[in-house]
Amino acid sequence: MCKWRVISPTSSATGRGGEAEGKRERRRMGLLSNRVERSEIKAGDHIYTWRAFYTYSHHGIYVGGHKVVHFTRKKETSASTDSSSISTSKPELLSTCPTFPDCGFQHRNSGVILSCLDCFLDKGSLYSFEYGVPSSVFLSRVRGGTCTTANSDPPETVIHRAMYLLQNGFGNYDLFENNCEDFTLYCKTGLLPIDDQGVGRSGQASSAIGIPLAAILSSPFKLLMAGPVGMATITAGMYCAGRYVTDIGVRRDVVKIAVEDLSVNMGWTEDEQSSISAAFEQKT
């Protein structure tokens, strides 16, 4: 039996404004894609775009004024080590952006860069990363790197971290331990892991590691589960569990670190490591 949806006069009167609000609410609850319009994002938002036919996503902090601060590999320089170390504090502009003269601002020997929104998206669609989602919503997402159970700090704090790191760097880029999503998650939460487990805060990296890991760990269950359906069920379950336990909002090995306390190369001195360990012990 068909069920007809009754549209009340009040819902008709609300027009597109009501529909847009409903879309935002459903997106917040994780029922739709995280895709957003440019008019919907605000300064301090964590945004991302898919690259290479949805193979991976690139993340950044929208700081307002159509500008995004994001993290990538350090640019190649032809100068020697000695000469480059002398000029590390000198910023460069290598952008060919015709709209914003400061698009492409980047300090030498740093992977943190300021781009305009158009150059950041590179003709891709715009997506909003979600914070403070319930565990059920987090686990319902097929792909990692779209949301976290952790709560975001206020926008002004997020922007301060991003702009500070634009001037001071965020260490060496690493696909699994220190990537663009790790950078953006830190800007939003101020949280850093202190255990050297080879996995950063990135949900995208955790997914990449979790798929083969789940398949390996599930191999003993071949004796218990007959057929491909049982194996697929176990592998999928372990994949989701692996993503969840590595989420920055769930992990117990993270502490809140002020951006001013981060060294430029992310290499902790003994004093810094002691202060981080003390903060972790106090937390637990």
Range of the domain at 90: 34-283
Mean pLDDT check: name the lowest of 2-16, 63-77, 87-101.
2-16
Alpha helices in the chain (DSSP H): 9-28, 81-86, 117-121, 135-140, 155-168, 180-189, 203-217, 227-245, 270-283
What is the C-alpha separation between 65 and 238, in angstroms, rounded? 42
3-state secondary structure of 246: coil
Residue 120 CB contacts under 8 Å (≥ 6 apart), including other chains: 47, 49, 58, 60, 68, 70
Nearby residues of 50 by Cβ (< 8 Å), 6 or more positions away: 56, 57, 124, 125, 127
Q: What CATH number does the domain containing 94 carry? A: 3.90.1720.10
Q: Is residue 79 part of a domain?
A: yes
> Phi and psi (nearest 5°) for 256?
-85, 125
> Is residue 17 situated within a structural domain?
no
CB count within 10 Å of CB 90 equals 9
160 is catalytic: no
User: What is the count of structural domains for the chain?
Assistant: 1
In a domain, 13, yes or no: no
Set 103, 119, 147, 180: catalytic member: 180
Residue 8 forms part of a structural domain: no
Q: In this structure, are residues 32 and 40 in contact, taking their beta carbons and an 8 Å threshold?
A: no
Residue 20 lies in a domain: no
Q: Which two structure tokens, joined as six digits, stand for 276?
A: 């981080």
Q: State whether residue 67 is helix, strand or coil.
A: strand
Residue 197 has pLDDT above 50, yes or no: yes
% the chain with pLDDT above 90:
43
Which residue of the set 46, 58, 59, 107 is catalytic?
Answer: 58
Residue 50, number of CB atoms within 10 A of its CB: 17
d(CA 158, CA 154): 6
Angle between helices 180-189 and 203-217 (to 10 degrees): 120
User: What tokens does 238 get?
Assistant: 């372990």
Amino acid at the residue 282: Q
| C-alpha of 25 from chain center | 21
Rounded Cα gap, residues 187 and 138, in angstroms: 20
Taking the CA atoms of residue 75, residue 78, residue 82 and residue 84 in that order, the dihedral angle to the nearest 10 degrees is: -40
240: annotated active-site residue = no
What pLDDT does 233 receive? 53
Q: Which residues of 254-281 are buried (b: 16+ CB within 10 A; e: fewer)?
A: bbebebeebeeeeebeeeeeeebeeebe
Which pLDDT tens digit goes with each residue over 75-132? 754 443 333 333 334 455 556 798 999 999 999 889 999 999 999 999 999 999 999 9
Is 70 annotated in the active site?
A: yes
In a domain, 57, yes or no: yes
Contact status, residue 72 vs residue 51, Cβ threshold 8 Å: no
Within-domain flag for 53: yes
Is residue 36 scored above 80 in pLDDT?
Answer: yes
Lowest mean pLDDT among 3-12, 27-36, 40-49, 248-257: 3-12
Catalytic residue among 70, 103, 107, 187: 70
The DSSP letter of residue 132 is S
Segment 136-176, tens digit of pLDDT: 999 888 788 899 999 999 999 999 999 999 999 999 999 88
**Top-confidence residue, 96 or 62:** 62
What the block records as the tokens of 38 is: 């440019």
Write down the pLDDT at residue 58.
96
Let me know if 171 is exposed, middle or buried by CB neighbors in 10 A (0-12, 13-18, 19+).
buried
Residue 140's pLDDT is what?
86
Does the predicted model carry a pTM greater than 0.75?
no
3-state secondary structure of 227: helix
Residue 251 maps to a domain: yes
